[in-house]
């Protein structure tokens, strides 16, 4: 299997990440699509990726360490920042529908907790929650 290794996070942000976040409304409905979205925020977490998937992703680490000047944590942070604004906007716009489905609810929670500017930075406001009696 061929693996693509990208060390230019700026190029990755403008190209691939923006395509993924623009398709969030389609991707969250399938397990593979959710993993594409969640990898941007919480890469290689055991909550969403199997040990086999994590091992497969780790196969690129050696090559990346020879071709990249950045630490993996720095790269992950840049990717998370690049994806966060679009994902937060998507959740703010579509959250009322998303939280009614288990798959959408899962993604909303991760975006709120791990996106740059999300709930941890108190930027997140979901106006539809004010109308929910169970949330008051």
pLDDT band at 121 (very low <50, low <70, confident <90, very high): low
Backbone angles phi, psi at 52, to 5 degrees: -65, -40
Looking at per-residue pLDDT, the higher value among 135 and 87 belongs to 87
pLDDT digit string, tens, across residues 9-65: 778 888 899 999 999 999 999 999 999 999 999 999 999 999 999 999 999 888 888
Percent of the chain with pLDDT over 70: 82
Residue 3, in any domain of the structure: no
Residue 4, in any domain of the structure: no
The tokens for 20 are: 């993924």
Q: Could you tell me the pTM of the whole model? A: 0.81
Range of the domain at 115: 9-131
Going by C-beta distance under 8 Å and a sequence separation of 6 or more, which residues neighbour residue 38? 45, 48, 107, 110
Residue 28, in any domain of the structure: yes
Looking at per-residue pLDDT, the higher value among 2 and 104 belongs to 104
The tokens for 18 are: 């923006």
Q: How many domains does the chain have?
A: 1
From 20, 84, 126, 51, select the one nearest 28 (Cα to Cα): 20
pLDDT band at 70 (very low <50, low <70, confident <90, very high): confident
Residue 1, in any domain of the structure: no
């Amino acid at each position: 299997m061929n693996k693509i290794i990208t060390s230019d996070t700026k190029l990755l942000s403008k190209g691939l990440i923006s395509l993924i976040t623009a398709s969030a409304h389609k991707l969250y409905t399938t397990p593979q699509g959710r993993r594409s979205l969640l990898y941007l925020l919480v890469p290689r977490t055991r909550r969403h990726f199997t040990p086999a998937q994590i091992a497969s992703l780790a196969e690129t680490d050696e090559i990346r360490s020879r071709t990249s000047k950045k630490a993996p944590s720095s790269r992950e942070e840049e990717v998370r920042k690049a994806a966060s604004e679009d994902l937060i906007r998507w959740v703010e716009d579509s959250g009322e529908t998303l939280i009614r489905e288990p798959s959408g609810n899962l993604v909303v929670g991760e975006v709120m907790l791990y996106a740059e500017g999300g709930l941890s930075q108190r930027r997140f406001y979901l106006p539809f929650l004010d109308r929910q009696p169970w949330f008051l």
